[in-house]
Chains A and B, each alone.
Chain A
Amino acid sequence: GQNIDQPTEMTATEGAIVQINCTYQTSGFNGLFWYQQHAGEAPTFLSYNVLDGLEEKGRFSSFLSRSKGYSYLLLKELQMKDSASYLCAVGSNDYKLSFGAGTTVTVRA
């Protein structure tokens, strides 16, 4: 099984940077996903890391360290529309994804 931890809430100011950490304990690790979910909407895919290192995609970056069981999602130049829940999900060797409880990010003007 998987044990996935991420902070419950974070608040930041428009234009700032926020880093959302995710730690996991897993058997049969097969990649880590980040999803964004606005209130009342479906989760949407943001990033996927299977090798160690940083993946950059515009204002969003995701980092993975498999040896430490650690990932983070970095949101730069925050905008009001970035207010959402961010879900960390760990893949295993059996088609399943295990999700953390999600981090609610509030962006203030």
Chain B
Amino acid sequence: DVKVTQSSRYLVKRTGEKVFLECVQDMDHENMFWYRQDPGLGLRLIYFSYDVKMKEKGDIPEGYSVSREKKERFSLILESASTNQTSMYLCASSGAGNQETQYFGPGTRLLVL
């Protein structure tokens, strides 16, 4: 079974703090993704990576950055958290190639005060 884990289920941070969200997958997947999920808007892609040290912007990259130093780990960084970044953050991974099934982690619910 594919397993995607995220470092925290719940996180509370203050405006202006730097926030790190970690994601690890154990299936040797090439592709990894970060989404945020908000009511009425569905999942929106923030960034994705198709190889180590590679990254591509998704639909809403502003205010975020990512890091992929190892194949199994993909980090999402909020350089200076703001209240409009309060959301559910979901990580996913998939095998090589386009449109392989994405497998999701349990999500991190982030509250920025």
Contacts and interface: CB of A to CB of B under 8 A. Distances in A.
| A, B bound | yes
A100 B37 CA distance: 11
Interface in B27-64: 31, 33, 35, 40-45, 48, 50, 56, 58-59
Given A43-B104, A96-B48, A31 B99 contact: yes
Most buried by B among A4, A33, A97: A97
Given A43-B90, A95-B31, A96-B58, A101 B101 contact: no
A67 interface: no
A44 B90 CA distance: 12
B58 to A, nearest CB: 7
Interface residues on A, range: 20 to 34
Interface of B: 4, 31, 33, 35, 40-45, 48, 50, 56, 58-59, 90, 98-99, 101-107
Nearest to A91: B99
A61 interface: no
B90 A101 contact: no
B48 A42 contact: no
A95 B90 contact: no
B42 A87 contact: yes
A26 interface: no
A33 B104 contact: no
Interface in A2-50: 4, 8, 30-31, 33, 41-45, 48, 50
A83 B77 CA distance: 34
